[in-house]
Amino acid sequence: MIKTLWIVFAAFGGFTALAFSETSSAHAQGKELSRFIVEDRISGYVFLGEQVRALQDDDFQNPGMFAVDRGRALWNTVDGEAGKSCASCHGDAAETMAGVAARYPKFDANRGGIINLELRINEQRKTHMMAPPLEYESQDLLALTTYIANLSRGIPLGVNIEGEAAPFFEQGKKFFFKRRGQLDLACNQCHDDLDGMMLRGDKMSQGQINGFPFYRLIWNSVGSTHRMFQWCNTSMRAEPFTYGSEEYLNLELYVAWRGRGLLVESPAVRR
Amino acid sequence: MAAIRVAVPSTARKGEVIQIKTLVSHPMDNGFMLDFGGRFIPRWIINRFELEYNGEIVFSADWHLSISTNPYLIFYTVATETGQLDFKWYDDNGDIYTHTAKIIVT
């Protein structure tokens, strides 16, 4: 019985492989992957199948662009007691926000720690708009973050890890190399050592965050880096940290530095 | 609630076959999936799509289960006269999402 099953699987696998290669050849023509690779750092895009790449490449089809549209609308929406919108101070985001997302997360003196794009948006809402903070991972906050990140598309990641950010960077690095959970795995064991290998039906990526916030097909929605961190931690049967926690902020800084030079792809499409 | 994206050529020659692309954001829950609490997520889909060209239906489709999230549709029609294209998506909950595009036929 087991033998028959294997034969069925093999036949099915062969068939799908054939079907994929036929559709992919047209798209692969003239397609340059080198811009997704910087030295030994490889964007998750490279590990995708041709169909998912095509979904990301076409702004019309890319489901993450819905979040961008929504973010653009929110950017110009007045909220809070101050009667301001983001645009009241920052003007046209296409000019003022280009390249900003590539420099986040960064050290923030007021917080005395690392701040990322999501928390920065909420901080600005509080101090300048006098508006209530948007819930982390809510559609509205994701939309704004995706919109701002999208305006940095094509700009290389370059976070600052010098000076006051250095100790937090070290903590993030420590997190990355620390074994955790019932499976006793550290991030690096898969994402540094085994990238490109198969993890069940999927290819192990390097865990780069240059496409975040991204549209994840198995979630059917846009997700932030911290949601992905939580998902990863849960998958290795470790207790996840909360959204916006210091641990994840430090980790985000380390992972962003780890992908230095990779071009921002937000909103990327991933499996 | 549904966000809509439509691509229609703004101008066309009379008699030309034009491509129309539509994308609508919708969860398209098929009713067989469980949520994290183990309960069925009720069916919630868009069950019909229509395109009216100057008031006349030139393309329609009945959608059933197994249409994916964020349905993406490409189809073709013949540009006959200058006018208006009215897109309609019929939701299970009774909502009708609409979008209007103009085309100039020369």
Tell me the chain B residues in contact with residue A66 when contact means C-beta distances shorter than 8 Å: 3, 5, 25, 70
Q: What ipTM was predicted for this assembly? A: 0.80
CA atoms of B98 and A94, how far apart (whole Å): 29
Closest Cβ–Cβ partner in B5, B27, B72 for A220 = B27
Average pLDDT for A194-215: 93
Looking up tokens 């923030």, which residue turns up?
A108
Average pLDDT for A131-155: 95
Q: Would an 8 Å CB–CB cutoff place B102 in contact with chain A?
A: no
Average pLDDT for A221-247: 95
- Which percentage of chain B shows pLDDT scores above 90? 89
Which of B56, B61, B78, B58 minimizes the C-alpha distance to B24? B61
Decide if pLDDT at A5 tops 60.
no
Tens digits of residue pLDDT in A31-90: 578 889 999 999 999 999 999 999 999 999 999 999 999 999 999 999 999 999 999 999
Number of alpha helices (DSSP H) and beta strands (DSSP E) in chain A? 11, 9
Which of A150, A131, A121, A157 minimizes the C-alpha distance to A258? A157
Decide if pLDDT at B103 tops 80.
yes
Decide if pLDDT at A173 tops 60.
yes
Query: In Å, how far from its chain's centre is CA A250?
Result: 15
Residues 6+ apart with CB under 8 A from A221: A215
Average pLDDT for A211-217: 94
At B1 the pLDDT is: 59
Asked if B71 contacts B46 with a C-beta cutoff of 8 angstroms, the reply is yes
Q: Concatenate the DSSP letters of all residues of A25-55 into one string.
A: HHHHTT---GGGEETTEE-GGGGS-HHHHHH
Asked if B17 contacts B76 with a C-beta cutoff of 8 angstroms, the reply is yes
Catalytic residue set of A: 232
To the nearest whole Å, the CA of A66 is away from the closest chain B CA by 7
Q: What element of type H or E holds A132?
A: none
At A200 the pLDDT is: 87
Decide if pLDDT at A4 tops 60.
no
CA atoms of A209 and A45, how far apart (whole Å): 11
At B20 the pLDDT is: 95
Decide if pLDDT at A6 tops 80.
no
Which of A178, A175, A164, A211 minimizes the C-alpha distance to A47? A211
Tens digits of residue pLDDT in B39-52: 999 999 999 999 99
At A201 the pLDDT is: 86
At B45 the pLDDT is: 95
Chosen for mutation from B25, B29, B67, B74 (greatest number of chain A CBs closer than 10 Å) is B25
CA-based angle B64:B65:B67, to the nearest 5? 90
In this complex, how many residue pairs, one in chain A and one in chain B, have their CB atoms less than 8 Å apart? 18
At A220 the pLDDT is: 87
Closest Cβ–Cβ partner in B3, B69, B72 for A61 = B72
Work out the mean pLDDT of chain B and round it to a whole number. 93
Contact flag A60-B70 (C-beta cutoff 8 Å):
no
Tens digits of residue pLDDT in B37-87: 999 999 999 999 999 999 999 999 999 998 988 999 999 999 999 999 999
Taking the model in full, what pTM does it have?
A: 0.85
